[in-house]
Structure 1
Amino acid sequence: MTTNISIIGLGLIGGSLALALKRNPAITITGFDRSYKSADEAYRRGIIDSIAPSVQSAAKNADFLIFAVPVAATAALLKEATGWQLKSSVIVTDTGSTKQPIMEAAKGLIDKGVTFIGGHPMAGSHKSGISASIEHLFENAYYILTPPSACREEDVDRLKSLLKVTRGKLAVLHAQEHDQMTAVVSHFPHIIASSLVNLLASQEQQQPFVRRLAAGGFRDLTRIASADPIMWRDITMQNNLELVNQLDGWLSEMHTVRDMLKDNDPGTIEAFFDVAKQFRDKLPSVAQDAAQGALYMQFDLHIDVPDHPGVISEITRILATKEISLTNIRIVETRTDVYGILVISFRSAAERNNAAAVLEKETDYSMQIL
């Protein structure tokens, strides 16, 4: 028996989800995107099986209806969907990174007896659009589900069963709990990273060399500030209350730090860094097969190579011979707070770990997975 999946929005998330779901041969995927160019590419690449002429058409025969568009657009479509013709057994879900606005927007559907379960696959990429879709995007990443309180357990299980092929780590949370936690570990860090970059930018006019010094640990620390500003504008507005609460806590912490610096007591300062180090060192690592966390991350391998001609081509040749793809490679000039001269980025922990094993076997370079 064929299961009909309709995906609204064929960008990175919608396209990657379609590719992952197509691991199940009993699934047929209909796609819709307001950009016909994206929908056509998805069809030509076999990411979807058919293109719907409209959102309503895509929804009509769906067993599972998945909204993979920004949260504001999803909320608007969920309100419109109360007037659509849907199967009585359909499960509607989404992929948005904030859940309380989505659950609020879905109330009209839920009141009509339609099953809606919020969803958030906590994975991403530095690329966007249907052309960036990859089948393994969600592997080992948390995939959060936020069913309403009255949702039947068997419906949650049906959605879990569908999503199992993504190889994500499925977890069920309350929408408010989800938004509070993602504010802490994802949304607020983006604000901090952007603030640090803006602070650096404001100092560059007086100290132009500071840009070069920022090429090491500062660049890695603030990597997430390179994310799509429109997407993060929307996320910040949608999770506004939780972010204000986090900022209040951060300001309180900064006042404590300011007092510590004014007192300049060596024991207090050392304890400050030690407590942070101890807690940070106990956080799960993707290198240890833990699930990917809330922040998009590249999987970096730091290699301490000698500075002589041909060393980079040697490493890339070895990786190419083993058919290991990389996404980025760079020389680090400021290394007081990072390991190694060469940093190579990969699409997944598995590819990075495989590369490390190959290079350790083929070379005598020291390397570290961070």
Structure 2
Amino acid sequence: MEQLTFSFFGLGLIGGSIARAIRASHPYCFIRACDTDSSTLRLALEEGVIDEASERIDEENGMTFTDCDFLFLCAPVSQNDSNLRLIRKFLLSGGRTHSNCILTDVGSVKSTIHASIEELGLTSCFIGGHPMAGSERIGFQNSKASLLENAYYILTPTPDVSGEQVERYAALVKAMGAIPLILDYRQHDYVTAAISHLPHVIASSLVNLVKASDNEDGIMKLVAAGGFKDITRIASSSTVMWQQICLTNKENISQLLERYISSLEKVKDEIDRSDAAQLYHFFDTARSYRDSFIDASSGPIKRVYTINVEIPDEAGSLASVATLLALNHISIKNIGIVHNRESEDGVLRIEFYEEASIEKAEKLLGSRGYMVFLKK
């Protein structure tokens, strides 16, 4: 197997997760990383994720990038321009020409990086990358290879990149357990503005609305349960990252935000007029479209086969359910306690490998007196 060399400029949550996934899929590769945080580099070396580390790029005293097969820009989006200028000399000279190295990034906005790549004359080696995965937690210490599993990994190649290079990158993405999807960078920015950037703005605005509307005793905060926490979970993400995303993809976000505000004004009017038919249509169309997201035929990310089961609050209850299913040859993929009892009484969430297991488990547990709730 060919020994590949990977270099990372920035080793946070996403960069660290990619490095871990590469290490798992290519155990004999060579990985180097440059990061300003010495503790991050020390931890990555101790855990065997990387082989070489430096806190700066410097021909004499720091790290060079003359022999890269893949070079990942994983620092904050606002630093991409300065980072690119630092590494440009290594990509245009040295042991390999820039056409043999795939230069990529992991930012969720692509227009700005593609403009910089064109300005610097690096279009023959650049393929933008955006793993559609993340966590509210940040930093290398929270990175994990499994973060990329079954996640779409969008690739935005320049027109000058060869098809062979795109295939190489797509093969690497598949080896990491992710799903490659090739898009034009302009289309990428509009799509992600709708399904990623705008939701973060909405979640944060909703949290701020509740904060401003709550009384001195904090009753809203006290009783905020599963529904509110689910819809606002992403408001806990990196403040700096989302500030930068809004500044770099502002046209798309603003356009979609204007349409969203219009839709809110429309439903407000329907509520004010007590328009039962239109309100029903509003919720029904949203429910139907949302349910279609988990249709197994709609894409490579398969439906999650899950039920919730009400169990008594006593020792051994969870074990009893798991044992009952095992004795009847029903395989469990995942099982855990649900801490949200706002919308249903189920407190035990069970995930199966296949849809047929849901019906078997529902009948079996129902026959033993358990209350079972289907969970989408």
Q: Which amino acid aligns with 2:344?
A: Y
State how many pairs are aligned.
Answer: 352
| Structure 1 segment 25-64 matched on structure 2, within 5 A | 25-52=27-54, 54-56=56-58, 57-64=63-70
Asked if 1 retains the 8 angstrom alpha-carbon contact of 2:204 and 2:232, the reply is yes
Structure 1: runs of 5+ lacking an equivalent: 294-298, 345-350
Q: Which residue of 1 aligns with 2:186?
A: 176
Q: Which residue of 2 aligns with 1:7?
A: 8
Change (3 A) 1:129 1:368: farther
Query: What is the root-mean-square deviation in Å for CA atoms of aligned residues?
Result: 3.4
- Deviating beyond 6 angstroms after TM superposition, the runs of 4 or more aligned structure 1 residues are 286-289, 299-302, 315-318, 321-326
Q: Which amino acid aligns with 1:234?
A: Q
Q: Does 1:20 align with 2:21?
A: yes
| Structure 1 segment 290-309 matched on structure 2, within 5 A | 290-291=300-301, 303-309=308-314
Larger CA Rg, structure 1 vs 2: 2
TM-score by length of 1: 0.82
Instruction: Give the secondary-structure state (helix, strand or coil) at the position aligned to 1:137.
Output: helix
Change (3 A) 1:70 1:112: closer
> Of residues 53, 61, 72 in structure 1, which corresponds to 2:78?
72
> Of residues 338, 344, 348 in structure 2, which corresponds to 1:339?
344
Asked if 2 retains the 8 angstrom alpha-carbon contact of 1:100 and 1:176, the reply is yes
Change (3 A) 1:116 1:214: same
Aligned partners of 2:196 and 2:152: how far apart in 1?
A: 13
Aligned partners of 2:319 and 2:123: how far apart in 1?
A: 61
Q: Which residue of 2 aligns with 1:347?
A: none
Instruction: Give the secondary-structure state (helix, strand or coil) at the position aligned to 1:115.
Output: coil
Structure 2: runs of 5+ lacking an equivalent: none
- Distance apart, 1:225 and its partner CA: 1.2
Change (3 A) 1:10 1:325: farther
Q: Does 1:101 align with 2:112?
A: yes
Q: Which residue of 1 aligns with 2:131?
A: 121
Asked if 2 retains the 8 angstrom alpha-carbon contact of 1:301 and 1:343, the reply is no
Which deviates further from its counterpart, 194-203 or 24-33?
24-33
Aligned partners of 1:215 and 1:112: how far apart in 2?
A: 50
Change (3 A) 1:12 1:365: farther
- Distance apart, 1:219 and its partner CA: 1.3
| Structure 1 segment 1-370 matched on structure 2, within 5 A | 1-22=2-23, 23-52=25-54, 54-56=56-58, 57-84=63-90, 85=93, 87-88=96-97, 89-109=100-120, 111=121, 114-205=124-215, 208-284=218-294, 290-291=300-301, 303-310=308-315, 314=319, 331-333=339-341, 335=342, 338-342=343-347, 352-353=351-352, 364=370, 366-370=372-376
- Distance apart, 1:39 and its partner CA: 0.8
Post-superposition Cα deviations, 1:82-131, rounded to whole Å, max 9, x if no partner, equal 3334521111001111111111121234x256511110011112322222
Q: Which amino acid aligns with 1:272?
A: F
Aligned partners of 1:102 and 1:179: how far apart in 2?
A: 12
Give the fraction of aligned pairs with identical amino acids, expressed as a percent.
29
Aligned partners of 1:181 and 1:15: how far apart in 2?
A: 25
Q: Which amino acid aligns with 1:28?
A: F
- Distance apart, 1:188 and its partner CA: 0.2
Asked if 1 retains the 8 angstrom alpha-carbon contact of 2:6 and 2:70, the reply is yes
- Distance apart, 1:179 and its partner CA: 0.7
Change (3 A) 1:106 1:136: same
Asked if 2 retains the 8 angstrom alpha-carbon contact of 1:122 and 1:143, the reply is yes
Q: Which of the pair has the greater relative contact order for Cα pairs under 8 Å at 6+ separation?
A: 1
TM-score by length of 2: 0.81
Asked if 1 retains the 8 angstrom alpha-carbon contact of 2:307 and 2:351, the reply is no
Change (3 A) 1:169 1:216: same
